[in-house]
Structures are given as C-alpha cells and as structure tokens.
Amino acid sequence: MAGPRRSNLQESDRLKSPMEYFVSERNGEEKPRVLPFAILLAVACMSSLGVSARFWFADGRSLQRLVDYQTFKLLSPPSIQQSLRCATAYVHRLTEHSSGRDLAIWENWTQWLVGQFYSPILRTQNPRWIVAGGRGDCSERAAVLQDLLGCHGIETRFVGLGGHVVLEARTEAGTSVLDPDYGISMDLGIEQLQQQPAGQVAAELIRRGMTVPSSVQYEQLILTDFDNIPSDWNAPLSPRLKRLEEFCEIAFWLVPAVSWLFVVWMVIPVRD
C-alpha cells in the first residue's frame, strides 16, 4: 500500500501546464484543446502587430505636425482675443481643407474594424489624428481649434450653418465666431452677426482680403436658417461617436495586453 501512495504523491507534485486542464473527452480519451490556445495566440500576435503598425507607418511630417501642435498648445497667449485669432489662423495653416478622410487600419485597428460595420466611426473626432493627417473638413478643423482653446479654458461650441460648421467661443469680452476652415475670426457671435445690416459682414470680409464672391457667399451662410443648430458648450460634435472612439482607443491597448497575459498563463507550468 505504501508504494502506490508514494506514486500518487509524486504524480500530484508534478508541474503541469494549464493547457493540460483544457481537455475534452472524445472516444473515451482526453485530448488537449489546442484550438482555444491557438486562437488566443493569434489574437495576441495580430493585435500586437496593430499596435506596432501605428509607429511603423507614422511618417516624419505627421510627427512634426504633432510636435508643433503640442508646442502651440503649451504657449501662453498674451491676450484672450489675440489667442482666438492666432489659434484660428494656426489651425488654418496647419491643416488643409478636404472632404475628410477615413481612419486607416494602422492608426487604430479596433476602430477601423468597428468601422467596417458602422461607417461613421471611421471619421475621427480626435484632434491628434486630424493634425497627424494634415487635412480635414470644416467640422474636423473646428474640433482641432476647440481642443486648442480648451487648453486655455475658453468655452466653445459648434454651430451649423447650412452644412458648414464653425466654432463659437465665449469669453469675458463676449462671443466670437471662429472659422478655421476659412481662417476667419470675428469678434461677434452668430446671433449678433445675423442682426448686422445687409452687406456689412461681406464688406468686412472684403476688407480683410477675401474675394467679393466668397464674401457674399459667406454672408449668406451666416444668415441661413437651414441647419443652424448650435451644440452644447464644450461638447464634441457627436458625443456618442466620441465615446465610441474613446472605447476603441482603450481596446487598442487593452486587447493585446490581456491576450498576452492569458497566453503566458496557459504556458507557464503550475503545481497540480
């Protein structure tokens, strides 16, 4: 009786891999479940590759724009009104107007994957990616400006103008309309501009160097009633998409980390 007991003790003391506990019965035999481990290992490798791609595919100009952008955010403006004008002109120079761009898979593979089923999430609201890409539409450039002014404690909100989007800033001096897409800043709010005599806004824009047709067209945008809807102060253009994008960014880092933890746990021997 002593011999078998010693054998059982030796067997119980043997170090086993957790993989040996992932077994299934088939034809009366126990076989390890290799498939779950293989899937987990593939997820860990592919998600890690996605994280690495963010750094591999980033070009020098994108990094330079980001460094320049972060430096500008840290600068202390001499006055609030001057900071509004400088920030608007800066975003206008830093980015180019385009119809917008879809987020690339190497920028955030989780967000790109979700975007294959829900396309609006492919249009980022993250100022970092807009600056890195160097281009954006009116709403995306306004999002960059909102981020800049928010660093200095300036309240802003998006205002729709017949399909065009501008930013309205609120300071102690009053409200101002800022349009980084055109590089325009005006020391009056939307409601005040709409109450100006006909032709006065266009005349001011012409005085600043804008062409006559563009000035007249811009004044018509200011006066339009179509899609003239302001957002909440300091709110993103689409809060729901913003939250979903933030979740995708967390998943971008969390999925590979958790996957590798489980892979390591499954291969390190443990005592039975």
Tell me the per-residue pLDDT of 230-249, one tens digit each, with 9 for 90 and over. 899 999 988 999 999 999 99
Q: What is the average pLDDT score of the chain?
A: 82
Let me know whether 46 and 146 are in one domain: no
Does one domain contain both 235 and 218?
yes
Q: Identify whether 163 is part of a domain.
A: yes
Work out the average pLDDT over 88-102.
87
Report if residue 262 sits inside a domain.
no
Say if residue 32 is in the same domain as residue 130. Answer: no
Name the nearest CA neighbour of 137 among 171, 177, 95.
95
52 in any annotated domain:
yes
**Section 149-178 average pLDDT:** 90
Query: Are 133 and 23 members of one domain?
Result: no
The percentage of residues in the chain with a pLDDT greater than 90, rounded to a whole number, is 30
C-alpha distances out from residue 15 to 36, 156, 269, Å: 21, 62, 6
32 touches 22 (CB < 8 A): yes
pTM recorded for the entire structure = 0.79
Does residue 261 form part of some domain?
no
41 shares its domain with 148: no
In the numeric block, which tokens belong to residue 118? 């829900």
Residues of the domain holding 32? 16-56
How many structural domains comprise the chain? Answer: 2
Instruction: Return the minimum-mean-pLDDT range out of 35-39, 66-70, 91-95, 168-172.
Output: 35-39
Alpha-carbon distance 180 to 167, whole Å?
8
Identify the pLDDT of residue 230: 87
142 in a structural domain: yes
